[in-house]
Amino acid sequence: MYKNKRIRVMSQIFFFVLVGLIGFNHYLSETGQNIGFIGSSSIHAICPFGGVEAMVALLQFGTWIPKIHSSAMVLFGIILVLSILFGPIVCSYMCPLGSIQEWIGNLGKKIFKKRYNHFIPTKLDKALRYLRYAVLIFTVYLTTNSLKLVFLEVDPYYALFNFWSAEATIGGIIVLIIVLLSSLFVERAWCKYACPFGAAVGLTNKISVFKIRRNTNTCISCNKCSVACPMNIDVVSKETITDDQCIRCGQCTSERVCPVNETVELKMAMYTSGFPTSDKEELI
């Protein structure tokens, strides 16, 4: 296994176990038991999307949405800073729902080989990718007006870490099952088409300080970067990846599948005359 992949998988396992333990400890604490060294916050308290959902209501009405606390807002703030620096690495290194889709996807890759992640026609796929923005806007609108955590009814993330408890919703469990099953055919289907948090942090791809950049001077156009991309981004045709769907997993980089050293990298642009050099070239 490549070093890059190993590091990312270790991070994914760490966050999956951490969030799982916190969720389970919360369940235990409700019954008077506790694992001492693990926090027992509810999953809502450590879900940064809660911060996105609650923000407008907090600004407009000065009230917190029930179940959401300041920790969710703090986490959203920290992740926003991280994303402005490096892009949405929260999706590829930390999000447990993304991780479990990826792990199930490994099975899909074995079953369907090259057909995996190419089942959906390109036109339909492109159109569906706007859906997550609709989910984001609709969720924030409904939450702000109803002052209730409406997304909880269909939230697969919450269901993933609460499916054993009475707090899980039927809708959430159904969506979770659909998401996990679809991962057998499409890589990170939830992230691509429906994740409202991914939609929010994905926008930082346009402005992040570090971006995936391809050195056109050394690139041999072997197309391996594009094939490896779980989000189906055509890396080989771009110099700088500003696609809102990039999750900074690093699969396309010279650390992973690119056969030429220092050709596809997560890189900060060199600034000259007020423009990053590569961005300047793009503008020209």
Q: In angstroms, what is the minimal distance from the CB of 45 to other proteins? A: 4
Q: In angstroms, what is the minimal distance from the CB of 220 to other proteins? A: 19
Q: Which of 13, 60, 234, 277 binds other proteins (CB under 8 A)?
A: 60
Q: Which of 21, 24, 41, 203 binds other proteins (CB under 8 A)?
A: 41
Q: Which of 103, 133, 185, 210 binds other proteins (CB under 8 A)?
A: 210
- What is the rounded distance in angstroms from the CA atom of residue 166 to the CA atom of residue 185? 31
Query: What string marks each residue from 112 to 151 as x (binds other proteins by CB under 8 A) or -?
Result: ---------------------------------xxxx---
Number of residues that bind other proteins (CB under 8 A): 45
Shorter beta-carbon distance to other proteins: residue 62 or 121: 62
> Considering only 62-70, 100-108, 115-123, 237-245, which stretch makes contact with other proteins by CB under 8 A?
62-70
By CB under 8 A, tell whether 8 contacts other proteins: yes
Shorter beta-carbon distance to other proteins: residue 56 or 203: 56
CB atoms within 10 A of CB 157: 24
Contact footprint for other proteins (CB under 8 A)? 3-4, 7-8, 11, 30-33, 39, 41-42, 45-46, 60-63, 69-71, 74-75, 77-79, 81-82, 85-86, 89, 93-94, 145-148, 210, 250, 255, 262, 265-268
